[in-house]
A and B are shown apart, each in its own frame.
Chain A
Amino acid sequence: AQSVAQPEDQVNVAEGNPLTVKCTYSVSGNPYLFWYVQYPNRGLQFLLKYITGDNLVKGSYGFEAEFNKSQTSFHLKKPSALVSDSALYFCAVRAHYGGATNKLIFGTGTLLAVQP
């Protein structure tokens, strides 16, 4: 079965500290992995994606994510958190059903709270 797991409902971090939001996946075929962010009362916004190439992917707002094939993980990271990073973060993987589709399977989301 294809799935994405975000094991933490909430991550708390102090401003200026590094942050990590965890994601693991299970998918047939080569994974296309995405991170999205949702601010209150807004739609999801694309942050970054991994398709192929370097395992470290850089995205918007200083975020990056590391693809680890052996651990089937795609954790989101940022070296120094800002209060304005506080939001809901979703990991997603492109579904394969005997071939790639444009359907994304989303995780349950992780609420990031950055304390000043």
Chain B
Amino acid sequence: DAGVIQSPRHEVTEMGQEVTLRCKPISGHDYLFWYRQTMMRGLELLIYFNNNVPIDDSGMPEDRFSAKMPNASFSTLKIQPSEPRDSAVYFCASSSPQAKNIQYFGAGTRLSVL
């Protein structure tokens, strides 16, 4: 398996623009997680899905952030409008009970909002 695949790896955009981050989980995994990592705040869980349904979105910072999982093999995290304070590395991870609940992380998307 190729592991969790995230795209793009790097994104540079201007304040106010819409940003869409993409994630393909490991095939067969039924949990998908979105995290944000910054120097100031460390690793934060934004939202997670089980069987494509959002279970806990309490970490989503504000209404500018939204996440969807239209099917078992694809998820998006959208920021609209983006702000400089959204600059961070965003990680997607997937897991399953069959994988003993170990979360497998993608390589991340480094977002810079100018």
Contact = CB atoms under 8 A, between A and B. Distances in A.
Interface of A: 32, 34, 36, 41-46, 49, 51, 90, 94, 101-104, 106, 108-109
Contact of B43 (A42, A90, A102): A90
Contacts of A34: 102
Contacts of B42: 106, 108-109
Contacts, number: 47
Given A43-B4, A44-B91, A49-B100, A103 B105 contact: no
Given A43-B91, A43-B106, A103 B100 contact: no
A109 B44 CA distance: 12
B103 A46 contact: yes
B74 to A, nearest CB: 18
B102 A49 contact: yes
A102 B48 contact: yes
A51 B42 CA distance: 25
A102 to B, nearest CB: 5
List of 10 A-B pairs having minimum Cβ-Cβ separation, nearest first: A43-B105, A44-B105, A108-B42, A106-B43, A46-B102, A102-B31, A43-B107, A43-B106, A43-B108, A43-B91
For chain B, the bracket of interface size reads: 20 to 34
A1 B105 CA distance: 26
Contacts of A94: 101
Interface in B22-54: 31, 33, 42-43, 45, 48, 50
Interface in B1-34: 4, 31, 33
B56 A103 contact: yes
Interface string B70-112: 0000000000000000000001010100001111111110000
A106 B36 CA distance: 12
A31 to B, nearest CB: 13
A46 B103 CA distance: 7
B64 to A, nearest CB: 23
